[in-house]
Amino acid sequence: MAKQFKRIETKLIHAGDLEPRVYGAVETPIFQSSTFEAGDESSYHDLKYIRLNNTPNHVSVGRTIAALENAEAGLVTASGMAAISTTLFTLLSAGDHILAQSSLYGGTHDLLAHDFAKFGLTYDFIDADDPASWRAKLRPTTKAIYCEAMTNPLLEVADLASIVRFAREQRLTSIIDNTFASPVNFTPLDAGFDLVLHSASKYLNGHSDIVAGTIAGRSEMVERIRHKLNHLGGSMDPHAAFLLSRGLKTLALRMRYQNESTLQIAKFLAGHRAVARVNYAGLESHPRHARARELFKGFGGVLSFEVQGSVDTAVKFMKSTTIPMLGPSLGGVQTLLTRPAASSHAGMSAEERAKVGISDTLIRLSVGIEATEDLIEDFAQALTAAR
């Protein structure tokens, strides 16, 4: 009987196991072989070759992803952007249109804004919190709707249930980037989404040592995306697949710790007089706290906040911390601080940033797995030093 694993902690450890085990090895070894002896494959896509995304490492970690997302099928890619671009280029053909949440991750935003036109694709950005405004943006050629579980860097939580309903009514494929929540906190396919994508470079791997992406959904859709990936070539390397498998084993432990630690840090910052504002869906003061509680099991490991004072105060605070590193990205075991106005959102003007609520003093924090008390003490001394 095929093994079935009910809970995420068990799935993370066992759902990707190859059967039979390779020489009894309890872990899936790295199959560092680009090609494999041919069997009786009838299709090009079934020949075993790293770019065709079907070597034992791809199969194993793909199964883990499918199990975590409660999906029929899972696929891994060379990066989060490979997962996103390959999915969109599979679902959309020249002449098609997509609705997308307006505050997307910068790479996804730029793919739509700068690359789509060359392929004859069109898009409209929508306010994902205002369902009444979506119908007016529909076109006969609209094929899909795309959103993120939580936005970066303001941690907004869109009306995800309405997105699912709208997609079903209008026969659109609903796609969600679940990177910020992780499957520990949210399984979007259970909420009715058609496809869930991740930058596995973040929480899924968790150690800031690879870039990787994942896709999960119905078998027929995932298989179509795999064939496109086979042509576009954004395939995961076997060593990265091994590191992703290894990182995944501790995802539930890391994520729950990060949920808890981030909530405590958010409360500390929100109660500090040198802090003007904290954005974290776990705080009761968050405008969508009730919605986030309904959707998510935890609120994740990223928050953003504004210190009282000028940009100099914010920079001085960041430089006065001793534990976090100052750098972009998120979801790793190490705490990272970044100022979006000088990093991820530097491409926008100060006015554009202000319009979407990103002030120049806003700091984004990705909480690692260091001791919560150590981080809080460090932030306390840095807030004092910055004044």
Q: Which residue ranges make up the site for ligand PLP (CB under 6 A)?
A: 79-81, 105, 107, 148, 152, 177, 179-180, 199, 201, 211, 213, 329
Q: Cβ 84 to ligand PLP, closest distance in Å?
A: 6
Q: Cβ 265 to ligand PLP, closest distance in Å?
A: 20
The residue among 80 and 382 lying less far from ligand PLP, judged by its C-beta, is 80
Question: What is the 8-class DSSP label of residue 197?
Answer: E
* Catalytic residue flag (residue 168): no
Are 315 and 336 contacting, i.e. CB atoms less than 8 angstroms apart?
no
The residue among 180 and 317 lying less far from ligand PLP, judged by its C-beta, is 180
Residue tagged 């898009």 (tokens): 123
The sheet with strand 302-307 has its strands ordered as: 275-279, 302-307, 362-366, 336-338, 325-326
Comparing C-alpha atoms, which of 291, 71, 82, 279 is closest to residue 188? 71
Q: Cβ 6 to ligand PLP, closest distance in Å?
A: 28
- Write down the catalytic residue from 96, 129, 159, 177: 177
Token reading at 175:
């796609």
Q: Cβ 77 to ligand PLP, closest distance in Å?
A: 9
Distance CA 161, CA 134 (A): 14
What is the four-CA torsion angle of 289, 295, 299, 303, rounded to 10 degrees? -60
Q: Cβ 63 to ligand PLP, closest distance in Å?
A: 21
- Write down the catalytic residue from 51, 218, 256, 316: 51
The residue among 80 and 324 lying less far from ligand PLP, judged by its C-beta, is 80
The residue among 148 and 156 lying less far from ligand PLP, judged by its C-beta, is 148
**Helix 238-248 to helix 56-68 angle, to the nearest 10 degrees?**
30
Burial bucket for residue 182 (CB in 10 Å: 0-12, 13-18, 19+): buried
Are 330 and 366 contacting, i.e. CB atoms less than 8 angstroms apart?
yes
Distance CA 145, CA 133 (A): 14
- Write down the catalytic residue from 105, 123, 146, 257: 105
Residue tagged 């119905």 (tokens): 218
- How many CB atoms sit inside 10 A of residue 119's CB? 13
Q: Cβ 291 to ligand PLP, closest distance in Å?
A: 19
* Catalytic residue flag (residue 165): no
The residue among 22 and 346 lying less far from ligand PLP, judged by its C-beta, is 346
Q: Cα–Cα distances in Å, from 10 out to 4, 70, 240?
A: 10, 13, 22
Q: Cβ 310 to ligand PLP, closest distance in Å?
A: 28
Q: Cβ 185 to ligand PLP, closest distance in Å?
A: 14
Query: Furthest-apart CA pair in the chain: how many Å?
Result: 71
Q: Which residues face 214 on adjacent strands?
A: 76, 198
Q: Which residues face 99 on adjacent strands?
A: 124, 145
Residue number with the shortest CB distance to ligand PLP? 80
The residue among 80 and 282 lying less far from ligand PLP, judged by its C-beta, is 80
The residue among 317 and 331 lying less far from ligand PLP, judged by its C-beta, is 331
Distance CA 142, CA 96 (A): 6
H or E element that contains 313: helix 311-320
* Catalytic residue flag (residue 44): no
Comparing C-alpha atoms, which of 238, 219, 211, 205 is closest to residue 48? 238
- Write down the catalytic residue from 11, 48, 143, 202: 202
Distance CA 332, CA 17 (A): 24
H or E element that contains 231: helix 219-232
Interstrand relation of 336-338 and 275-279 (parallel, antiparallel or unpaired): unpaired
The residue among 80 and 183 lying less far from ligand PLP, judged by its C-beta, is 80
- Which residues are marked as active site? 51, 105, 177, 202
